[in-house]
């Protein structure tokens, strides 16, 4: 993967970095760069990213970002035990690969690292624990600090930096999470709306299993491709339940309904697989766009940042773009491709380096991980206490 330069801390309107000396040890004495390694393994992907901050250019640069994906057999989801085994079998090789890609020809690249960042949660317990053990081991071996990172915040910070978006409304959509998020002046992110049952990605994954789609590269991607496999004018839109409840959304009823259609009308030929995939996407994405637009109006925001694995979906990006173009003044959609939307080590390194630069580290005795760790529970001291219009009503 090519090195990826991105926005500066100033353009992101972050809190200015503490004055010299920094609250941590810079081990790259020759160039004065802060370099961290990030480990992500909260679900079926395990990734290791190396990221640097250059004090001269003030830019954050991804030096490497390899990952591996556990693909379950068609018709099955990925289970914690098998997923953890997969991560354990790949993590050492991924660390070596990431360091070799970041520092080709360097016999001891670990000497340049200032910290090891890892996912504390949320996620699946056994995979999280496997990666946390790897992070603790590297921290002790190389005598550098640990930085625990909230997985959701990692997605947000990766998106803010990659897209150069300082203060967007965030739509976070993945297999385990569905949230509409803003930042207020509390030093934490605020969840404006979320799913009250299952996540949007889980809804797509479970339906893909019902109709026999492959898990490779992902069930949601294969639903998207199936919906696009037939010209739009030949597709039949099937009305499904619309589960918007204030600022929250519900997908379990929609899933039950479309599963029943697959077991009845699909078998009799009254509808096609493409019809069902198309109708499901159009319905659930409309729900997400509606709640996101309401958050934009409340926050007085003009930008939407889409993060998480489902945010790769081109149709969701198109629908979001239509919404922001209809707003006055016109808004902006900040979207990324699979390199940064899908779980990866660089996003953990990105949030981790922000935390490290502002004095946040994790003691070994506190280096736990948890399946439940909400976005609004994590402190984000690098964000400015910038009063937004919506914060007055919280």
**Tell me, what's the pLDDT at 361?**
97
Q: What is the pLDDT of residues 75-127, one digit of tens each?
A: 889 999 999 999 999 999 999 999 999 999 999 999 999 999 999 999 999 99
For the CA atoms of 343, 162, 291, 226, the dihedral, rounded to the nearest 10 degrees, stands at -60
Q: How far apart are the first and last CA of the chain?
A: 42
What number of other Cβ atoms are within 10 A of residue 268's Cβ? 7
What number of other Cβ atoms are within 10 A of residue 196's Cβ? 14
Q: What is the pLDDT of residues 228-262, one digit of tens each?
A: 999 999 999 999 999 999 999 999 999 999 999 99
pTM of the entire structure?
0.95
Strands 303-307 and 169-173 turn out to be parallel
**Tell me, what's the pLDDT at 75?**
86
Q: Show the CA angle centred on residue 105, arms to residues 99 and 108, nearest 5°.
A: 55
Report the C-alpha gap between 382 and 14 in whole angstroms: 6
**Tell me, what's the pLDDT at 347?**
98
Q: In the numeric block, which tokens belong to residue 326?
A: 């209809």
* Residue with token string 């379950």: 72
What parts of the chain have a pLDDT lower than 50?
A: 1-2, 387-394
Report the C-alpha gap between 394 and 391 in whole angstroms: 5
């Amino acid at each position: 993967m090519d090195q990826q330069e991105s926005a500066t801390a100033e353009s992101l309107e972050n809190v200015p970095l503490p004055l010299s000396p920094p609250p941590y040890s810079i081990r790259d004495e020759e160039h004065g760069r802060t370099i961290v390694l990030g480990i992500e393994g909260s679900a079926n992907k395990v990734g290791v990213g190396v990221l640097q901050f250059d004090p001269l250019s003030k830019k954050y640069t991804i030096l490497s970002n390899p990952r591996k994906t556990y693909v379950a057999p068609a018709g099955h989801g990925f289970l914690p035990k098998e997923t953890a085994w997969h991560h354990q079998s790949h993590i050492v090789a991924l660390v070596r690969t990431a360091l070799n890609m970041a520092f080709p020809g360097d016999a001891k690249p670990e000497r340049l690292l200032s910290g090891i960042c890892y996912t504390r949660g949320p996620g699946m317990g056994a995979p999280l624990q496997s990666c946390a053990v790897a992070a603790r081991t590297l921290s002790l071996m190389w005598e550098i600090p640990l930085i625990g990172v909230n997985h959701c915040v990692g997605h947000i910070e990766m998106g803010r930096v990659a897209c150069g978006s300082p203060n967007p409304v965030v739509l976070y959509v993945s297999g385990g999470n569905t949230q509409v998020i803003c930042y207020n002046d509390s030093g934490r992110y605020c969840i404006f709306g979320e799913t009250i049952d299952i996540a949007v990605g889980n809804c797509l994954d479970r339906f893909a299993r019902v109709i026999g789609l492959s898990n490779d590269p992902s069930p949601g991607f294969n639903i998207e491709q199936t919906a696009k496999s037939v010209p739009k004018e030949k597709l039949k839109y099937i009305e499904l339940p619309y589960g918007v409840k204030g600022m929250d959304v519900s997908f379990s009823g929609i899933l039950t309904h479309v599963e029943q259609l697959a077991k009845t009308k699909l078998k009799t030929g009254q509808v096609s697989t493409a019809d069902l995939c198309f109708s499901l996407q159009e319905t659930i994405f409309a729900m997400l766009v509606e709640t996101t637009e309401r958050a934009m109006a409340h926050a007085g925001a003009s930008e939407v940042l889409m993060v998480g694995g489902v945010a790769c979906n081109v149709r969701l990006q198109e629908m979001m773009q239509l919404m922001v173009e209809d707003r006055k003044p016109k808004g902006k959609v900040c979207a990324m491709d699979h390199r940064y939307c899908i779980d990866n080590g660089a996003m953990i390194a990105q949030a981790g380096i922000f935390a490290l630069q502002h004095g946040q580290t994790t003691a070994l005795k506190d280096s736990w991980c948890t399946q439940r760790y909400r976005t609004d529970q994590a402190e984000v001291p690098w964000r400015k206490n910038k009063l937004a219009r919506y914060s007055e009503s919280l």
